[in-house]
Amino acid sequence: MVLVIAMAIILIPSDFDQNKPSPFKSEGMDWDMPDTNRIPSTPEGKLVRYGMDLIAHTSVYFGPKGKIAAISNGMNCQNCHLAAGTKFLGNNYSAVFSTYPKFRARSGSIETIYKRINDCIERSLNGTSLDSNSNEMKAIYAYIKWLGKNVPAKAKPAGAGIEDIPLMNRPADPIAGKTIFTYKCQRCHGTNGEGLMNESGNEYTYPPLWGEHSYNTGAGLYRISRFAGYVKNNMPLVTSADNRPLTEEEAWDVAAFVNSQPRPQKKYPGDWPDIASKPFDHPFGPYADNFTEAEHKYGPFAAIKKDGNKKR
Ligand code: HEC
Ligand code: HEC
């Protein structure tokens, strides 16, 4: 019973950000998710299933001991796109096929699905991009297309991506976040956030949160609103009566702590060619406003958004 209530609480999306401009036609519709057990046994179905395996076990193929090539940090796509990109508010892929190609302010260009996948390989997996003609890229594409096959063009189902959780009135606090990490995260993610490798050494049982095998400073999770929104609805991974979900404040504070620890530094000078379109929590200047990098990293964000930086 308690579990059911706890689940209900974490699954209710908050719609605090009423002013967020929405380019989508039918935000709020439910995702009619195809059943992954019913991927057909056709050649196309085989490619889709391979794509699903690449999402779930990326490191087995492309990690430091990858059987195809050693081109990434050892993380799996699924570490951040839970249940192979199918979980409600677990950074799922329901709205990818329906909304791409689309304009993204980060690159200032129209991006294809291939480009978006390579963005995560280069930043979240701190790796080297895949050729869009490679069988593996075709398989990942085929899987994402298959997942989105029931979603009308331009539509964004409820629970897609990461939730925009309410902003706080104060800056997120890395010191408070350290305590939360110690009590609620460390037992799986390790004392130094280093995660835990499986016995074969080809995939993480618990992925790293910082250090050399973690996402780099150009990755989405390095923005604390993305980290906090992801963690709020999904971590600690196993939610039970004695392992309660985080409050929103805890999610912001633990995000501030984790993102103040060392990780691979990568600069992307071409990012956000229109500086006025930088998200409020992009931690690297120059900015179109007068707030500092620290303020853009930790907040408080309300004033920054009021100052014209509307982008989430
Ligand atoms: C360290 C975490 C992490 C890992 C690992 C990761 N991603 Fe992502 N990915 C993100 C974040 C964060 C976003 C942006 C979500 C948002 O802002 O709502 C994202 C967005 C995406 C999107 C766009 C989603 C949309 O709805 O616009 C695609 C496609 C994607 N990732 C594919 C991949 C693939 C394929 C892999 C593995 C090769 C991967 N990602 C690995 C964190 C990660
Ligand atoms: C019971 C073990 C467990 C606990 C406790 C836990 N996690 Fe996780 N976490 C996981 C696992 C396992 C994954 C990868 C999920 C997958 O691949 O399906 C993960 C993934 C993540 C990710 C995305 C991947 C990455 O490594 O960057 C983040 C961020 C994260 N956890 C943060 C946290 C935070 C913050 C806490 C504490 C509030 C926490 N986790 C508590 C097991 C746990």
Asked if residue 251 and residue 191 are part of one domain, the reply reads yes
Asked if residue 105 and residue 54 are part of one domain, the reply reads yes
**167 within domain boundaries:** no
CATH code, domain carrying 246: 1.10.760.10
Question: Taking 80 as the threshold, does the pLDDT of residue 1 lie above it?
Answer: no
pLDDT band at residue 305 under the 50/70/90 scheme: confident
Asked if residue 199 and residue 88 are part of one domain, the reply reads no
Asked if residue 42 and residue 140 are part of one domain, the reply reads yes
**6 within domain boundaries:** no
From 78, 81, 94, 138, the mutation candidate for ligand 1 (largest count of ligand atoms within 8 A of CB) is: 81
Question: Taking 60 as the threshold, does the pLDDT of residue 5 lie above it?
Answer: no
pLDDT band at residue 310 under the 50/70/90 scheme: low
The CB density around residue 286, as the number of other CB atoms within 10 Å, is 8
pLDDT band at residue 307 under the 50/70/90 scheme: low
Residue nearest atom 17 in ligand 2 by C-alpha distance: 79
**179 within domain boundaries:** yes
From 77, 165, 188, the mutation candidate for ligand 2 (largest count of ligand atoms within 8 A of CB) is: 188
Question: Taking 60 as the threshold, does the pLDDT of residue 195 lie above it?
Answer: yes
CA 120 – ligand 1 centroid, Å: 5
Atom of ligand 1 nearest to the CA of 221: 12
Question: Taking 60 as the threshold, does the pLDDT of residue 49 lie above it?
Answer: yes
Question: Taking 50 as the threshold, does the pLDDT of residue 12 lie above it?
Answer: no
Count the domains in the chain. 2
Question: Taking 60 as the threshold, does the pLDDT of residue 23 lie above it?
Answer: no
Question: Taking 70 as the threshold, does the pLDDT of residue 17 lie above it?
Answer: no
CA 88 – ligand 1 centroid, Å: 14
Single-letter code of the amino acid located at 40: P
Last residue of one domain, picked from the residues 132, 147, 162: 147
Asked if residue 109 and residue 38 are part of one domain, the reply reads yes
**222 within domain boundaries:** yes
Asked if residue 263 and residue 143 are part of one domain, the reply reads no
Give tens-digit pLDDT for 172-184.
999 999 999 999 9
Average pLDDT, the chain: 90
How much is the pLDDT for 60? 98
Ligand (nearest to CA of 250): 2
Asked if residue 37 and residue 120 are part of one domain, the reply reads yes
**85 within domain boundaries:** yes
pTM, to two decimals: 0.92
Last residue of one domain, picked from the residues 147, 166, 193: 147
How much is the pLDDT for 240? 61
Last residue of one domain, picked from the residues 112, 128, 147: 147
How much is the pLDDT for 15? 36
Is 306 or 53 the better-scoring residue by pLDDT?
53
**11 within domain boundaries:** no
**Which domain does 125 fall in, by range?**
30-147
Question: Taking 90 as the threshold, does the pLDDT of residue 9 lie above it?
Answer: no
Q: Does any ligand 1 atom lie closer than 6 A to the CB of residue 162?
A: yes
How much is the pLDDT for 251? 98
Asked if residue 253 and residue 139 are part of one domain, the reply reads no
CA 23 – ligand 2 centroid, Å: 31
Residue nearest atom 27 in ligand 1 by C-alpha distance: 96
Rounded mean pLDDT, 51-68: 98
**15 within domain boundaries:** no
